[in-house]
Amino acid sequence: MLRVLMLSWEFPPFKVGGLAAHVNDLSQMLVQKSLEVHILTCSFPGAKEYEVVNGVHVHRFDAYAIPAPDFLHWDLNMNLLMEQKAIELVRKYDIDIIHAHDWLVALAAIGLKHLFRKPLLVTIHSLERGRRNGLYNDGQRMIDQIENLLIQESWHLIVCSQYMQSLCHFAFDFPQDKMSIIPNGVRYKEFNIKLSKEEQKKHHLKYAKPEEKIVAYIGRLVPEKGVNVLLGAIPAVLEKKPNTKFVIAGEGWHRKELERIAQELGLNNKVLFTGYLPEEDFLAYLNVADILVVPSTYEPFGIVALEGMATKTPVVVSDVGGLSEIIDHHWTGYKVPPDNSHAIAEALIKLLDDEKLRQKIVKNAYEKLIHVFDWEIIADQTIEIYQKIFKEWRNHWWKTRKDHLKYQTVTKRKTTQQKEKQLNS
């Protein structure tokens, strides 16, 4: 049985972006496939230092034990504390593979790799130069170089899309044969909840009038998510479809600017900013939405598009990054040019007008989820990489003396058993 230690700065119920959900869902499926998985992550008030969640060993540490003046200094301190805790775990559980998620845990991951001479697998979920559409200050350049260092130190790299594979290859000159594309997944069976007519009406009225269709957005309110582009499309949609309500669910530092734009466009009665949506409202919100829009200008993958597909909600996405690979235009959703309010408006009007088209899209999208984005398929692909790099490492000289002796003994034992079988046959 392979024993894996995953490093992730966020893990449910502490969630900032899609990373927490990814690590949670993947780790649980890996456990179902008979792997031993340990997650090391930051603590939060009221959290247990250690617990087993659906078979996954979750270990937490106080990431704020060392004071820090800003986020980058906090991350440096967090890595020192994470590495300290991880050293205990690697020794205690005899970990085989270290699996790091994104740059925030880079320093701890690299340190562990060299301390224990274990294979380091890295999943890159996004890159700073993509998030910022360039590098404009020393903070961004620092993160970019940490990402580069983590990627170069990896035994193997997992990326979530062809777009991310190309970006890692051309940005950091990382060989493509050391990368594998494994998409994010979604637990689609849990998303398509059945609401009674009364529940449907109740949840609908939280966001809109009974006669209004709901066009939904859910995600962080930051510039690269393109919510300003969606706001620019609203006047044209309302001109043709006045009984439409636009609901913006999520939180972020860009929210006040977006609210100002909505006010300037005179959309106060037609746009609702909900703020952070509690977990218990999330599925009902997507299930009562008539259309989900993902207007990102940069998106390494776009897990929210999968969540829309899982709730059988027609999805309109920007034709960028991983979103381009998730959606097949006019078949599993609608793709529009990025940063184009006019194109979003045209797609929304078309879908609001055509019930048959909406039904065709949700049917095809759900089929694609089953055959491409199922967590069982994704876990099998991940296990293949675990087995591949573990075999390479086991046969390589780069090991501690302890591991060298351990696997030399195992190899000799297997050879002896094979010879005995041949003699007895």
Distance CA(316)–CA(329), nearest Å, equals 9
User: What confidence tier does 415 reach under pLDDT thresholds 50, 70, 90?
Assistant: low
Name the E strands within 72-186: 97-101, 120-124, 156-159, 179-181
Q: What is the pLDDT of residues 306-317, one digit of tens each?
A: 999 999 999 999
Domains 3-185+376-394 and 189-372 share a fold: yes
**Any idea where the domains of the chain sit in the sequence?**
3-185+376-394, 189-372
Q: How far is CA 325 from its chain centroid?
A: 15
Per-residue model confidence (pLDDT) at position 318: 96
User: What confidence tier does 320 reach under pLDDT thresholds 50, 70, 90?
Assistant: very high
- Is 345:365 a contact under the CB 8 Å cutoff? no
One DSSP character per residue, 302-359 reads -HHHHHHHHTT--EEEES-HHHHHHPPBTTTBEEE-TT-HHHHHHHHHHHHH-HHHHH
Domain 189-372 top-level CATH class:
alpha beta
User: What confidence tier does 411 reach under pLDDT thresholds 50, 70, 90?
Assistant: low
180 pLDDT more than 70: yes
User: What confidence tier does 105 reach under pLDDT thresholds 50, 70, 90?
Assistant: very high
- The mean-pLDDT minimum among 39-48, 254-263, 277-286 falls in 277-286
One DSSP character per residue, 225-278 reads G-HHHHHHHHHHHHHH--SEEEEEE---TTHHHHHHHHHHTT-TTTEEEEESPP
Residues in the chain: 425
Mean pLDDT of 102-117: 97
State the fold for domain 3-185+376-394: Rossmann fold (3.40.50)
Mean pLDDT of 91-113: 97
- Angle 371-337-334 from CA coordinates, rounded to 5°: 40
Q: What is the pLDDT of residues 212-258, one digit of tens each?
A: 999 999 998 999 999 999 999 999 999 999 999 999 999 999 999 99
